Amino acid sequence: MGAADSAVSRESFRLCESGQPTLALQVQRPGSFASAAHAAGDVIYLHGATFGADLSIFYRFDGRSWADAINDIDLAVWGFDLPGYGCSDGYPADLGRPAGRIDDAVLQLRRVIAAVREQNGGRAVSLIAHSWGGSVAARYAGLHARDVKALVLFAPFVTRGQAASPAGATTLPSHYPVTLWAQYRRFVEDVPRGHPQVLSEVHFETWGAAYLATDPLAVHRIPPAVSTPYGPVADIGAMWSGQQLYDPSRIVAPTLLVRGEWDSLCADADAQRLLAALGTADKDDVKIERATHLMHLELQRTVLHDRVNRFLERVAR
């Protein structure tokens, strides 16, 4: 079922189920713990709209990843790729609708949580979710409170504006191409003029090569680009048009909202609305200076690791 990867101390699984896409799931256990049941707890990472677990929670800059930091507090780290990302099965190119919207993503998250709890003796898990993935985790936490011990919403999207009247039918693609230039812009567009880069050119070059390698057809596109499910983009558009894709009032698990000072996609007003709407009394908002929407890849990533670890040590062990 799994194959040990001694180079990165991770174990890989394939979650197979009739009628569902096969999912790539990985676990990195703390220290010499031999099984999930022996760790102090379990954290499942849910990625954002454009890249999966290998390029985020498990990606090592200068020899150290976010998963390594979480292992330091004796928690096992699980990461998986939603359909259409990384090593998981993809969606048909001719699907006829945006691939990978929130309803489907919640279903896939439920499969992963069930697989993890099957290995850890049935205990509840903690969720760390980035960006659009925060919407998926928030929806799940509201619907399945007993499964979720703690919730970290890292730079989540929040509903903006008032719900508009339904517009006429619009045809949206199932996938769209994301170029390296599009990814690079995300690291620079919110940084105020006169401030240094938040990700070094050397680190971006290495990460960018790994990003393009996630899609075997990327190098054949001009310019090179990764085919990416359009569903998250459609979900974000819906939320920013006033639709509520999750109900914060149903979330009862301790919740940490963490975001970057320069993140225009999760700004102060967004954080204030979300925090006020959360159903849990155990909630906190942490804003980290000199960081943007992709802080887990930036120079301030170690500050992110530290603040999240403090929260997890208190509520997740």
For 119-159, the pLDDT digits (tens) are 999 999 999 999 999 999 999 999 999 999 999 999 999 99
Listed in sequence order, the residues at least 6 apart from 157 whose beta carbon sits closer than 8 Å to its beta carbon are 131, 132, 134, 135, 235, 236, 239, 240, 265, 266, 270
The pTM score is: 0.94
Q: What is the pLDDT of residue 200?
A: 94
With a cut of 70, say whether residue 33 has pLDDT above it. no
Bridge partners, residue 11, by sequence: 4, 27
Output the pLDDT for position 170.
Answer: 76
Q: How confident is the model at residue 169 (pLDDT cuts 50, 70, 90)?
A: low
If you average pLDDT over residues 96-114, what whole number do you get? 97
Q: How far apart are CA 64 and CA 158, in angstroms?
A: 31
Q: What digits encode the pLDDT tens for the residues 244-289? A: 999 999 999 999 999 999 999 999 999 999 999 999 999 999 999 9
Residues sharing a CB contact under 8 Å with residue 145, sequence separation 6 or more, in sequence order = 250, 251, 252, 253
Question: 3-class DSSP state for residue 150?
Answer: strand
| Amino acid in the structure at residue 156 | P
Comparing 37 with 214, the larger pLDDT belongs to 214
Strand partners, 12: 3, 26
List the one residue out of 198, 282, 232 whose CA is nearest residue 106: 232
Q: What pLDDT score was predicted for residue 317?
A: 85
Q: How confident is the model at residue 66 (pLDDT cuts 50, 70, 90)?
A: very high
pLDDT for 163: 65
Task: Give the chain's domains with CATH numbers.
Answer: 2-172+231-315 (3.40.50.1820)
The pLDDT of residue 80: 98
pLDDT of residue 68: 97
Half-sphere exposure of 298 (CA within 13 A, CB side): 26
Read off the pLDDT band of 4 (50, 70, 90): very low
Q: What is the DSSP string of 156-217?
A: -----SPPPPPPPP----SEEEEEHHHHHHHHHTTSPTTSPPSS-HHHHHHHHHHHHTTSTT
Average pLDDT, the chain: 93
Q: What is the reported pLDDT for 39?
A: 85
Residue 138 is encoded by which pair of tokens? 């928030």
**Whose structure tokens read 């699980």?**
78
Contact 221, 249 (CB under 8 A): no
Peptide bond into 156 cis (omega under 30): no
Contact at 8 Å (CB) between 259 and 288?
A: yes
> What number is the average pLDDT over the span 41-66?
97
- Is the per-residue pLDDT at 107 higher than 50? yes
Please identify which residue in the block is written with the tokens 């190098």. Answer: 219
Length of the chain: 317
Measure the CA–CA gap between 124 and 126, rounded to whole angstroms.
Answer: 7
Residue 253: exposed, middle, or buried by beta-carbon count in 10 A (0-12, 13-18, 19+)? buried
3 state SS of 259: strand
Average pLDDT over residues 197-208: 96
